[in-house]
């Protein structure tokens, strides 16, 4: 077995797969048109908290592109990729899979006992991309999991010198520590943030109808969109919370006043729960990326607040009266698995 084959056996193959939605998707042409601009921009940042559909959007859009134009390179990141050499091993392996043998030499250099500095390898990568005739689209998903400074530094070097034949898209829950201001000043950065990812009233209607199988009167769509703030997970939980043939306006009224949705759950399962009472002084949605939920913890005056945060104040009462789904139920867990929103 040669070194290249041995290396492939040591990597997790599923991290190179473009995620595929398990259910129906709604059409979002305004976002598709925005992402199309990324093909003419060196770097694109898709940054929003959990549950706004970043991964699903990028997956559906990227798979709609013409085959091999550009060549799609996808890497789903995790905490282990904070090892700089492992991070770049995944990136180079993904590139090499799209253009076999073209980047194999760099992979061997990276894995050799006398491996040169990473910047030297990245310089060779940039030169190879400049000299070649293939265009690549590199999508790094879940970049918020990267905390290692050397990974940020080496990626910043790549971004600073991106050739025309490589376009980079970062999907993350928080803006990364990269030279974003410099990229903006040179008009080399396309940004997609929370406000752009929020569902419009039309998208809310389509989501409830196509994905959740719920018909909602047009006069209530705007109210639902406003109350859920266009948050896809909020819409999904609203749909799961509705008993069969129930009126969504009734549920909205039951969570009116000083109540709001709070996404507090196990980041491993992605479970999200309703909070039946907005915590005093808390003006923002709390997301799993902030575990153990400092925003809720610091502002919450509820005596029943639990340190692990996934037992939200009021949840048991809300479950008991049927206004929210039991997060331990099969339906809630199936929803968490079925809709990959990150």
Are 178 and 258 members of one domain?
Answer: no
Q: Which of 236, 239, 201 is nearest to 221 (CA)?
A: 201
Q: What is the pLDDT of residue 307?
A: 31
Stretch 201-224: mean pLDDT: 91
Q: Taking a C-beta distance cutoff of 8 angstroms, is the pair 196, 47 a contact?
A: no
Stretch 29-47: mean pLDDT: 97
40, 55, 217 from 222: Cα distances, Å: 35, 25, 10
Domain count, the chain: 2
pLDDT in tens, 263-283: 333 333 333 344 433 333 333
Beta strands in the chain (DSSP E): 43-47, 71-76, 136-141, 166-172, 189-192, 260-261, 274-275
Pick the last residue of a domain from 197, 226, 253: 197
Measure the CA–CA gap between 171 and 162, rounded to whole angstroms: 18
Are 177 and 65 members of one domain?
Answer: yes
Are 288 and 300 members of one domain?
Answer: yes
Are 215 and 191 members of one domain?
Answer: no
- Burial of 275 by CB count in 10 Å (0-12 exposed, 13-18 middle, 19+ buried)? buried
pLDDT in tens, 103-117: 999 999 999 989 999
Are 292 and 220 members of one domain?
Answer: yes
Stretch 307-324: mean pLDDT: 35
pLDDT grade for 286, boundaries at 50, 70 and 90:
very low
173, 236, 262, 319, 339 from 328: Cα distances, Å: 26, 16, 16, 10, 17
Are 188 and 217 members of one domain?
Answer: no
pLDDT in tens, 213-263: 888 888 889 989 988 899 999 888 888 877 655 676 666 666 543 334 333
Token pair recorded at residue 180 = 């974003």
CATH code for position 118: 3.40.50.300
Pick the last residue of a domain from 130, 165, 197: 197
Residue 7, pLDDT > 80, answer no
Are 182 and 219 members of one domain?
Answer: no
The count of other CB atoms within 10 Å of the CB of residue 82 is 16
pLDDT grade for 42, boundaries at 50, 70 and 90:
very high
pTM, 2 dp: 0.76
Measure the CA–CA gap between 164 and 161, rounded to whole angstroms: 10
Q: Which of 88, 113, 85, 116 is nearest to 103 (CA)?
A: 88
Pick the last residue of a domain from 174, 197, 220: 197
The range of the structural domain enclosing residue 297 comes to: 201-338
Are 168 and 219 members of one domain?
Answer: no
Measure the CA–CA gap between 205 and 186, rounded to whole angstroms: 39
Are 40 and 166 members of one domain?
Answer: yes
Q: What is the pLDDT of residue 217?
A: 87
The mean predicted confidence, pLDDT, of the chain is 77
Residue 32, pLDDT > 60, answer yes
Q: What is the pLDDT of residue 252?
A: 64
Q: What is the pLDDT of residue 253?
A: 64
Are 38 and 173 members of one domain?
Answer: yes
Are 114 and 234 members of one domain?
Answer: no
Specify the range with the lowest mean pLDDT, choosing from 39-43, 44-48, 170-174, 285-289: 285-289
Are 211 and 98 members of one domain?
Answer: no
């Amino acid at each position: 077995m040669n070194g290249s084959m041995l290396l492939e056996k040591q990597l997790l193959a599923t991290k190179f797969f473009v995620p595929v939605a398990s259910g129906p998707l709604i059409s979002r042409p305004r976002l598709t048109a925005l992402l199309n601009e990324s093909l003419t921009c060196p770097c694109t940042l898709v940054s929003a908290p959990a549950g706004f559909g970043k991964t699903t959007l990028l997956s559906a859009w990227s798979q709609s592109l013409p085959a091999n134009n550009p060549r799609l390179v996808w890497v789903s990141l995790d905490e282990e990729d904070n090892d700089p050499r492992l991070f770049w091993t995944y990136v180079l392996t993904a590139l090499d899979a799209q253009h076999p043998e073209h980047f194999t030499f760099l992979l061997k250099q990276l894995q050799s006992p006398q491996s040169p500095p990473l910047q030297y390898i990245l310089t060779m990568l940039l030169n190879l991309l400049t000299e070649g005739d293939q265009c690549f689209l590199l999508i790094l998903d879940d970049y918020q999991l990267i905390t290692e400074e050397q990974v940020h530094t080496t990626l910043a070097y790549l971004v600073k010198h991106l050739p025309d034949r490589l376009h980079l898209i970062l999907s993350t829950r928080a803006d990364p520590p990269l030279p974003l201001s410099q990229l903006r000043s040179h008009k080399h950065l396309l940004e997609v943030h929370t406000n752009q990812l929020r569902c419009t009233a039309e998208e809310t209607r389509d989501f409830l109808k196509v994905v959740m199988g719920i018909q909602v009167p047009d006069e209530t769509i705007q109210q639902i969109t406003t109350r859920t703030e266009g948050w896809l997970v909020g819409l999904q939980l609203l749909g799961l919370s509705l008993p069969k043939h129930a009126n969504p306006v009734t549920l909205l009224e039951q969570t009116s006043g000083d109540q709001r949705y709070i996404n507090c759950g196990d980041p491993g399962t992605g479970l999200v729960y309703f909070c039946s009472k907005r915590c005093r002084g808390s003006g923002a949605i709390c997301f799993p990326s902030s575990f153990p939920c400092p925003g809720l913890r610091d502002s919450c005056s509820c005596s029943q607040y639990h340190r692990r945060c996934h037992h939200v104040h009021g949840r048991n009462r809300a479950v008991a009266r049927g206004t929210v789904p039991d997060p331990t139920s099969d339906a809630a867990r199936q929803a968490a698995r079925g809709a990959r929103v990150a």
